[in-house]
């Protein structure tokens, strides 16, 4: 009987040791899995962009996994204008947005929304002012002749108020010495411009890509290209923007984000057709041919040159001079961008910029001078 009791006690001790060992092993396994999960945890980021081809780097960076490789889970939100982007950033709905560093940033800062660029990507670095993605498209059957600028005077024009396209249109009228007050201006979402012009509700529109390519295709021989992608009208640089108070506290996160942008910009330069196909997965109803055609007019140089800086400052201060915005003091280059991260990325990843031509060294070498 004692033997039996001793056997049972030894058996219980053995089972208890095994149970404890198993429990410890399970706990260690859970800890290891948790550590592994922590090491693979992704940083959640929201990027709000406009539904146009200027957002192509965002789509490419997501599709090609550039941000995932940096440990970022980036959620893309689409909106209809740069103004809506700046308002969303001000409301704290996203860490990053994309906007025109010239016109949209100037307008935002003039209203007290202190945004600043951190990583340009759509830019003609050898120009002071070039707006490759902007256009003025009209109907020939309304008496508009591209070779006769005065034929635009007094027409009904669809435009997006307060946008870079608005400035582009006004500068075109100013250059041609036409009185824009004689025209009827109709505020329209850019995505609605093709159908509005095709249906004859207006005589002309001022779209951006891909809607320029779309309306030209849909109008066919009745389309009059009054202006498309011209230089010397407005400085047009689009990039990643954020609030200046947030920027200085988050340089490392911005760097990871900007690495993906630099890779994406290079991909678009080297494979525009592949980029156009990616665009069709994000922009509803986009015709891939329109995307391919539209991308031909856009320049993807993230670098800030002497031309870039001059154009940004001139455009912002010209907007003040023309009464479009009000500022208590003149703009300086530092109002438009913080190049801390751009310099980091260019130094650490020169391969993402190696296919770009040398930049002008002084203003005399810059193209697209503003009048």
Percent above pLDDT 90 for the chain = 89
Q: Is the peptide bond before 2 cis (omega within 30 degrees of 0)?
A: no
Instruction: Decide if 215 contacts 207 (C-beta within 8 A).
Output: yes
Cβ partners under 8 Å of residue 325, min gap 6:
106, 107, 110, 111, 319
Instruction: Decide if 47 contacts 78 (C-beta within 8 A).
Output: no
SS3 state at 319 = helix
Burial of 156 (0-12, 13-18, 19+ CB in 10 A): middle
Cα–Cα nearest to 185, from 153, 213, 212, 147? 153
Residue 20 has what pLDDT?
Answer: 39
Burial of 163 (0-12, 13-18, 19+ CB in 10 A): buried
Tell whether the model's pLDDT for residue 37 goes beyond 80: no
Per-residue burial over 94-118, b = 16 or more CB atoms within 10 Å of its CB, e = otherwise: bbbbbbbbbbbbbbbbbeeeebbbb
**Ranges 7-11, 134-138, 223-227: which has the least confidence:** 7-11
- Whether 43-128+236-365 and 135-228 share one fold: the answer is yes
Average pLDDT value over all residues in the chain: 91
Inter-axis angle of helices 272-279 and 251-270, nearest 10: 110
> At 40, is the pLDDT very low, low, confident or very high (cuts 50, 70, 90)?
low
Cα–Cα nearest to 224, from 132, 134, 139? 139
Hunting for tokens 């994000």 — which residue is that? 282
Region for 65 from its dihedrals, namely left if φ exceeds 0, alpha if ψ lies in -120 to 50, beta otherwise: left
State how beta strands 238-243 and 96-100 pair: antiparallel
| Domain chopping of the chain, boundaries | 43-128+236-365, 135-228
CA distance 167 to 207: 12
Percent above pLDDT 70 for the chain = 89
Residue 185 has what pLDDT?
Answer: 98
What is the per-residue pLDDT across 115-170, written as a single tens digit (0 to 9) for each?
999 999 999 999 999 999 999 999 999 999 999 999 999 999 999 999 999 999 99
Instruction: Decide if 232 contacts 370 (C-beta within 8 A).
Output: yes
- Class level of CATH domain 135-228: alpha beta
Residue 27 has what pLDDT?
Answer: 41
What is the per-residue pLDDT across 259-274, written as a single tens digit (0 to 9) for each?
999 999 999 999 999 9
Residue 23 has what pLDDT?
Answer: 42
SS3 state at 161 = coil
DSSP single-letter state for residue 78: E
DSSP single-letter state for residue 359: P
CA distance 216 to 195: 11
CA distance 344 to 340: 6
CA distance 232 to 235: 8
Fold annotation for 43-128+236-365: D-Maltodextrin-Binding Protein; domain 2 (3.40.190)
Query: Looking at residues 51-74, what average pLDDT do you find?
Result: 98
Question: Radius of gyration over alpha carbons of the chain, in Å?
Answer: 27
What pTM was computed for the model?
A: 0.88
């Amino acid at each position: 009987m004692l033997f039996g009791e001793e056997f049972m006690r030894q058996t219980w001790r053995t089972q208890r040791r095994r149970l404890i060992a198993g429990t410890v092993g399970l706990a260690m396994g859970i800890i290891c899995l948790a550590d592994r999960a922590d090491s693979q945890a992704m940083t959640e980021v929201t990027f709000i962009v406009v539904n146009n081809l200027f957002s192509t780097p965002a789509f490419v960076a997501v599709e090609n996994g550039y941000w995932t490789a940096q440990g970022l889970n980036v959620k893309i939100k689409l909106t209809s204008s740069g103004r809506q982007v700046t308002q969303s950033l001000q409301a704290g709905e996203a860490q990053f947005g994309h906007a025109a560093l010239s016109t949209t940033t100037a307008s935002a800062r003039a209203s007290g929304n202190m945004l600043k660029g951190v990583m340009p990507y759509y830019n003609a670095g050898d120009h002071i002012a070039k707006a490759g993605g902007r256009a003025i498209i009209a109907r020939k059957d309304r008496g508009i002749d591209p070779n006769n600028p005065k034929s635009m005077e007094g027409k009904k024009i669809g435009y997006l108020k307060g946008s870079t396209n608005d400035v582009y249109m006004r500068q075109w009228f100013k250059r041609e010495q036409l009185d824009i007050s004689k025209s009827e201006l109709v505020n329209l979402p850019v995505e609605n411009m093709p159908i509005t012009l095709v249906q004859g509700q207006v005589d002309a529109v001022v779209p951006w890509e891909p809607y320029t390519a779309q309306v030209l295709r849909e109008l066919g021989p009745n389309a009059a290209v009054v202006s498309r992608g011209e230089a010397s009208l407005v400085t047009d640089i689009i990039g990643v923007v954020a609030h200046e108070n947030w920027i200085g506290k988050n340089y490392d996160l911005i760097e990871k984000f900007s690495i993906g942008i630099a890779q994406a910009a290079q991909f678009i330069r080297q494979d525009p057709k592949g980029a156009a196909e990616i665009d069709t997965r994000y922009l509803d109803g986009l015709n891939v041919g329109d995307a391919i055609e539209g991308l031909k007019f856009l320049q993807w140089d993230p670098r800030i040159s002497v031309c870039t800086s001059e154009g940004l400052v001139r455009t912002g201060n010209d907007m003040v001079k023309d009464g479009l915005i009000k500022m208590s003091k003149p703009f300086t280059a530092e109002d438009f961008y913080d190049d801390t991260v751009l310099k980091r990325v260019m130094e650490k990843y020169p391969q993402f910029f190696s296919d770009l031509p040398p930049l002008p060294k002084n203003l005399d070498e810059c193209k697209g001078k503003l009048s």
